[in-house]
Amino acid sequence: MARGERIKIDEATLPTGEVLTLTRESGYYMVRADGMPLMSNMAHHSEEHMAVIGCEKIKEKAGARVLVGGLGMGYTARAALDELGPTATVVVAEISPTLVEWNRGPLAELADRPLDDPRCELALGDLVDYVASGPKPFDAILIDTDHGPDSYCAEGNVRLYSRKGLARLRDCLVPGGILVIWSAYQKPEFRGALKRAGFHDDVWRVRSRGEKGGKHTLYIGRKPKPKPKPKA
């Protein structure tokens, strides 16, 4: 494929009204929303690194549970599955049936078909609604649904990053569980939002292409464990 050449593979309209387009551009797959780049397989190291951080302490845990918010091209879900053991469950919450279809079709081999892994469960629908439904608690929640905590791919996603939304995410974690939120940029004040929602916060800057490429930001919140009761 010639550099700069763009071939349209498929197109569909989201429930939100946005038009998703899947193309091949200069040899890479690209998903665009209303013509604007949304995701590509050119750079996905930071998305995979979310799973490495989120699953670090639960690799050997029997029955470990991880929620992946946003399927994307499947890289985060695949990385989580690769980190975890045979009894783990990875729930992928995705609002777009089109992205699910593409992940089972033209994009399937990019991340080695994570949706076909028996440990993977698909929750088709809005992530905010899924969290509000009161699912069984997770050991880790990995969110990559937007460009950042104040740049939303869907207008309703603002609810994820509010104090109430973050508190709901905290309530969906087991004590000591971890929340990792992907962002294309730094928003230092967001660490304060995590603290106000009851998290111990941290932030990592991770390159988009391993040792190359620009840096993305991973905001990390850990749900505190209950303090041990004093001995009588």
Answer positive or negative: Cα dihedral of 131, 137, 143, 148. Answer: positive
Stated pTM of the model: 0.92
Check residue 86 and give its pLDDT: 97
Cα pseudo-dihedral 138, 144, 150, 152, rounded to 10? -120
Per-residue pLDDT reduced to its tens digit, 106-147 = 999 999 999 999 999 999 999 999 999 999 999 999 999 887
pLDDT at 231 over 90: no
Per-residue pLDDT reduced to its tens digit, 144-199 = 988 788 887 777 788 889 999 999 999 999 999 999 999 988 999 999 999 999 99
| Two structure tokens written together for 121 | 């469960």
Check residue 227 and give its pLDDT: 79
End-to-end CA distance of the chain: 73
The listed CATH number (3.10.20.70, 3.90.190.20, 3.40.50.150, 3.30.56.10) that belongs to domain 43-222: 3.40.50.150
Residues 9-47: b if buried by 16+ CB within 10 A, e if exposed: eeeeebeeebebbbbebeeebbbbbeeeebbbbebbbbb
**Where exactly are the structural domains of the chain?**
43-222
